[in-house]
Amino acid sequence: MPDRSMRPAHLLTALLPALLLAPGASAAPVSVPTDRGTLSLPAPARRVVALEYSFVDTLLALGVRPVGAALGTQGGDRGAPPYLRPKVGGIPHTGSRGQPSLEAMAAARPDLILADALVHKDSAAGFGRLAPTAVFPSRRADLDELNNQTLQIGRLVGREAAARQLLADQKTLIAKARAFAKKNAPTFVAGVVTPTSFTVHTQGSFAGSFLEAVGRRNAVPVRDGQTQFETSLEGLVALNPQTLVLFTAPDEKPVTDTWAKNPLWQKLSAVKRGRVYTFDRDDWTRGRGPTALKLMTAQAIESRFLQDAAPARGYQYQP
Amino acid sequence: MKLRPAALLPLAALTLLLGVLLSLALGATDIPLADAARLLLRPDDSTDSLVIHTLRLPRTLVAALAGAALGVSGLLLQGVTRNPLSDPGILGVEAGGALAILIMVVFLPTAPAALFVPAAFLGGLLAAAAAYGAARTAGVTPLRLALAGVAVASLAAAATRAVQILFEERAQGALFALSGSLAGRTWEQLAQIAPWLGGGLLLALLAAPRVNVLTLGEDVARSLGARTERDRVIVTGLGVLLAAGSVSVCGPIGFVGLIVPHAARALIGPDHRLSLPLAALLGAAFLTLADTAARLIDRPAETPVGILVAAVGAPVFVMIARRVGRRT
């Protein structure tokens, strides 16, 4: 609680060291641009509730343990991605991303809530009554936007320096990865495959833009404002990918297993060339934070996707 | 204006043929109409040929068969209830069938897909009986029956959602079949419904004279020597079976069974021996063309055809209901 009896002059004196020491952990007010205008906090947040996995990943990477997170599986959510699971033990669940529990969130006594612009479009106003709520477009954002969110979240929790360091490290890592990328390699099509659907991730999606950042070209631009869109086998044949990246889950039978029985599948250039790669769809499309990006960069190299070589063991698609 | 039947039926068949060709030619990639026709008759090794024979042809045939079934189902139900508002969607038959399939998939996960049609048939019968029972307590009028049907349909749809939410994982297996879309339908699914719908349509054609008698009303039909109770059960059963078959493969698609019979009767007159084959042809052409249009709205993404049909069908329903309301 700020001491109200403190006179402005004293307040300034008291804050001056903090201001000079900024951007380390400080008590100065912060204000950052969010999806719903500027959010100002009187002091950096200490108790944060994160309602998307990308926010959890980012906070942990910044060294801040959320006091609550949407890690539940209500409404069919698949829970934290495998790479994040060992790190989130003990963090109280505040429902799932799609069905956050206001009660559990209130019980965590947050001084900041991080919400998604798409999933919490309507509910964010209600969160605002519990604590200041920062709304960022996590679900439909590309790599640059999510990196910018890392910086803004860093500011909100008073760790801007750490955030800048994370981004600088990531830049170095990506530059190293780019060295592996084959020059003039053909374009790729990437998509999340579930038992019932194939969703293309375009240049404007997180995974789609990441794979471009590390040096390959995505064949599919954003279409009618949609960064991701569903397609059929026929649609995939029309795209005729030279390289195909499938994001699948080990516990599911992807719909492409059925498609692969159709002779059309063999007509895909990527199949003919033997350039069909699989990655874990939870790690690659649902983490979307600095830690996920490290893993993704390593796997992009290890799988030999960047080199445009035949997939390494464990990354081969076997229908 | 009534064209002569001799001209109308071939004309409708021609429309259907055009619809089928368009459905084969248009999609994520367009194939010229002439090429589509050639590849249909003489398949080769090209990608286009494979697209037509492995993806678009089964889907088109499912659309045509389901459309014909829904059109005829609506015609039979309208005839037997003597109610211009009857339609397998409005009477709750489709929603009941969908609920039955979902329940089967969730609670009897080992049941084979071949049981989809019988399950939907049972669910559709129960829904129709519930709608009729509810309407009868207040005296069956066309509008009351439609209202009771809509209520039963909403109830069944709500129960479907509830089962889906409570058994999220296990419901997955039914969601594709019940999506109200024709996307990705295969030869397997066609084989699953073809015997039921083919047989049902044939029997409906044979039953057409009985429907003619039933539409005259209870007293006249009986005085003509018809066994009205038995005939009514047969015709209703056929109507529900046809709707159930279509629901089991593409989910509830409303209003086809409403629009098509009205169009058929307006074109060819009330004789079911003529209006029934016309309704079959028109229904098949309508759903095939609607499915082709649905594919093009947002391609290569698929728009469920059910949404498109509802957008066209709902205003027609209001129009017919207003006319019925004024008459009574």
3-state secondary structure A258-315: HHCCCHHHHHCHHHHHCCEEEEEHHHHHCCCCHHHHHHHHHHHHHCCCCCCCCCCCCC
Q: How does pLDDT run across A264-282, given as a tens digit for each residue?
A: 999 999 999 999 999 999 9
Name the residue of chain B whose CA is nearest to A234's CA.
B28
- A116-120 mean pLDDT: 94
Determine if the peptide bond prior to A92 is cis (ω within 30°): no
CA distance, residue A237 to nearest chain B CA (Å): 8
Is B47 in contact with A231 (Cβ distance < 8 A)?
no
Domain A182-302 has CATH 3.40.50.1980: yes
A58 contacts: CB under 8 Å, gap ≥ 6: A149, A150, A153, A289, A290
Q: Do domains A27-166 and A182-302 have the same CATH topology?
A: yes
CA distance, residue B162 to nearest chain A CA (Å): 12
Tell me which residue in B54, B168, B183 faces A264 most closely, judged by beta carbons: B54
Q: Does A221 touch chain B (CB under 8 A)?
A: no
Name the residue of chain A whose CA is nearest to B28's CA.
A235
Would you state the structure tokens that stand for residue A258, as one six-digit string?
């059925």
Is A232 in contact with B51 (Cβ distance < 8 A)?
no
Would you state the structure tokens that stand for residue B101, as one six-digit string?
């399939």
Q: How does pLDDT run across A43-67, given as a tens digit for each residue?
A: 999 999 999 999 999 999 999 999 9
For residue B327, the model assigns a pLDDT of: 63
Picking from B26, B29, B182 by the largest number of A CB atoms within 10 A of its own CB, the best residue to mutate is B29
Of residues B328, B310, B320, the one with CA closest to residue B85 = B320
Q: How does pLDDT run across A219-264, given as a tens digit for each residue?
A: 999 988 889 998 889 889 989 999 999 999 999 899 999 999 999 9
Residue A22 has pLDDT above 50, yes or no: no
CA distance, residue A209 to nearest chain B CA (Å): 21
DSSP string computed for A34-93: ETTEEEEESS--SSEEE-SHHHHHHHHHTT---SEE----GGG---S-TTTGGG-TTPPB
The pairing of strands A37-41 and A48-50 is unpaired
Picking from A197, A237, A262 by the largest number of B CB atoms within 10 A of its own CB, the best residue to mutate is A237
Q: Does A75 touch chain B (CB under 8 A)?
A: yes
Confidence tier at A201 by pLDDT (50, 70, 90): very high
Tell me which residue in A195, A232, A263 faces B183 most closely, judged by beta carbons: A232
The pTM is what?
0.80
Q: Does B50 touch chain A (CB under 8 A)?
A: yes
Confidence tier at A1 by pLDDT (50, 70, 90): very low
Q: Does A231 touch chain B (CB under 8 A)?
A: yes
Tell me which residue in B50, B56, B175 faces A196 most closely, judged by beta carbons: B175
Q: What rounded mean pLDDT belongs to chain A?
A: 91
CATH code at A27-166: 3.40.50.1980
For residue A12, the model assigns a pLDDT of: 47
Listed by start position, the domains of chain B span: 63-327
Name the residue of chain A whose CA is nearest to B175's CA.
A196
Is A235 in contact with B300 (Cβ distance < 8 A)?
yes
Residue A24 has pLDDT above 70, yes or no: no
Listed by start position, the domains of chain A span: 27-166, 182-302
Tell me which residue in B169, B172, B302 faces A232 most closely, judged by beta carbons: B302
Q: How does pLDDT run across B159-191, given as a tens digit for each residue?
A: 999 998 888 777 877 877 888 888 888 898 899
Of residues B200, B167, B165, the one with CA closest to residue B75 = B200
- A97-112 mean pLDDT: 95
What is the CB-side half-sphere exposure of residue B99 using CA atoms within 13 A? 23
Do A256 and A193 touch, CB atoms closer than 8 A?
Answer: yes
Is B298 in contact with A231 (Cβ distance < 8 A)?
no
Residue A198 has pLDDT above 70, yes or no: yes
Q: Does B188 touch chain A (CB under 8 A)?
A: no
Report chain A residues whose CB lies below 8 A from the CB of B39: none
Residue A2 has pLDDT above 80, yes or no: no
Is B47 in contact with A237 (Cβ distance < 8 A)?
yes
Report chain A residues whose CB lies below 8 A from the CB of B52: none
Name the residue of chain B whose CA is nearest to A196's CA.
B176
The pairing of strands A243-248 and A188-193 is parallel
Of residues A289, A271, A245, the one with CA closest to residue A87 = A289
Q: Does A76 touch chain B (CB under 8 A)?
A: yes
Q: Does B51 touch chain A (CB under 8 A)?
A: yes
Identify the segments of chain B with pLDDT beneath 70.
1-3, 300, 327-328
Tell me which residue in B28, B175, B176 faces A234 most closely, judged by beta carbons: B28
Would you state the structure tokens that stand for residue A169, as one six-digit string?
């490290």
Q: How does pLDDT run across A139-159, given as a tens digit for each residue?
A: 999 999 999 999 999 999 999
Q: Does B110 touch chain A (CB under 8 A)?
A: no
Would you state the structure tokens that stand for residue B268, as one six-digit string?
């060819």
Q: Does B154 touch chain A (CB under 8 A)?
A: no
Is B51 in contact with A234 (Cβ distance < 8 A)?
yes
Residue A100 has pLDDT above 80, yes or no: yes
Is A230 in contact with B302 (Cβ distance < 8 A)?
yes
Picking from A234, A240, A261 by the largest number of B CB atoms within 10 A of its own CB, the best residue to mutate is A234
Report chain A residues whose CB lies below 8 A from the CB of B56: 234
Rounded to whole angstroms, the Cα distance separating A14 from A40 reads 20
Triad B304, B307, B312: Cα angle to 5°:
135
Name the residue of chain B whose CA is nearest to A220's CA.
B300
Residue A206 has pLDDT above 90, yes or no: yes
Tell me which residue in B54, B175, B302 faces A263 most closely, judged by beta carbons: B54
Label residue B108 exposed, middle or buried (CB < 10 Å: 0-12, 13-18, 19+).
exposed
CA distance, residue A197 to nearest chain B CA (Å): 10
Q: Does B300 touch chain A (CB under 8 A)?
A: yes
CATH code at B63-327: 1.10.3470.10
Name the residue of chain B whose CA is nearest to A78's CA.
B169
CA distance, residue A267 to nearest chain B CA (Å): 7
Name the residue of chain A whose CA is nearest to B162's CA.
A75
Do B50 and B285 touch, CB atoms closer than 8 A?
Answer: no
Is B175 in contact with A237 (Cβ distance < 8 A)?
no
Report chain B residues whose CB lies below 8 A from the CB of A264: 47, 50-51, 54-55
Name the residue of chain A whose CA is nearest to B29's CA.
A238
Residue A5 has pLDDT above 70, yes or no: no
